[in-house]
């Protein structure tokens, strides 16, 4: 069977969650994966940044060197890649995503607005883009600080970037204000059911 049948309008989808750093996209993606792991799989990105906290190689990211990342670009191994916060590089593996779609599984992405634009451009209606908004910039700052994973300088950079990123929310297919996790997961499940993912 050709992969075309499996990835047509009724086939598996690409679900992109974007949010400013600290907006809650990884927490929400994990909750969806926990509840719907039979239909949805996570795209594990490659990055040149160092692991933080308890992050594991191959689980949260594939951590690679600048040279390894450049070689992957050269070999056409990324569906999309971008430099985020003007520092580290992040990329989505073509082989991983196409492998999952060809098995009939939908793929969930926790990527930035540049990545969302690229995947929408490549996959059109098969790509469902969702922007997660914090209830306010104050709430975002508190969540980012309470997460306790960033230096003061990184927090300042991420808050500065957040203002610009949030301006991009209207261009996404859906917007979800992440008040409580329970309400946000219910809203995401409603969107994904309507899109034929769940
Ligand atoms: P992102 O992946 O977008 O950077 P995270 O999922 O790491 O964001 O969330 C940032 C922090 O905010 C985490 O410590 C997470 O537990 C917390 N958080 C996420 N959503 C909520 C929510 N609805 N209410 C309270 N805290 C939240
Ligand atoms: P973090 O360093 O906090 O894990 O991620 C920083 C930013 O990079 C987040 O906005 C995250 O969504 C984004 N990101 C992670 N992986 C990818 C990817 O493969 N491509 C793109 N474009 N962005 C990514």
Dist. CA 29–CA 15, nearest whole Å = 10
pLDDT band at 40 (very low <50, low <70, confident <90, very high): very high
Pairing of strands 174-177, 40-42: unpaired
Q: Is the pTM of this model over 0.95?
A: no
Ligand 2 mean position, distance from CA 110 (Å):
7
- In 3D, which of 198, 194, 175, 197 has the Cα closest to residue 19? 175
Instruction: Give me the long-range contacts of 117-120 (CB less than 8 A, separation at least 24).
Output: 118/79, 118/80, 118/82, 119/14, 119/16, 119/79, 119/80, 119/92, 120/16
pLDDT in tens, 111-170: 999 999 999 999 999 999 999 999 999 999 999 999 988 889 989 988 999 999 999 999
Give the number of the atom of ligand 1 that is nearest the alpha carbon of residue 179. Answer: 23
């Amino acid at each position: 069977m050709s992969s075309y049948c499996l990835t047509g309008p009724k086939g598996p989808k690409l679900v992109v969650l974007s949010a400013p750093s600290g907006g809650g996209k990884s927490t929400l993606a994990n909750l969806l994966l926990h509840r719907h792991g039979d239909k949805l799989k996570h795209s594990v990105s490659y990055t040149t940044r160092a692991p933080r906290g308890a992050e594991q190689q191959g689980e949260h990211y594939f951590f690679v060197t600048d040279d390894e990342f450049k070689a992957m670009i050269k070999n056409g191994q990324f569906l999309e890649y971008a430099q985020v916060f003007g520092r580290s590089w992040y990329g989505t593996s073509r082989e991983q995503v196409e492998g999952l779609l060809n098995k009939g599984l939908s793929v969930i992405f926790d990527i930035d607005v540049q990545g969302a634009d690229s995947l929408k451009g490549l996959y059109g209606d098969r790509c469902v883009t969702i922007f997660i908004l914090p209830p306010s910039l104050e709430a975002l700052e508190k969540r980012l600080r309470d997460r306790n994973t960033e230096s003061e300088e990184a927090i300042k950079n991420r808050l500065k970037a957040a203002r610009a990123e949030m301006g991009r929310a209207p261009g996404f297919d859906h917007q979800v204000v992440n008040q409580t996790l329970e309400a946000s997961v219910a809203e995401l499940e409603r969107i994904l059911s309507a899109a034929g993912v769940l």
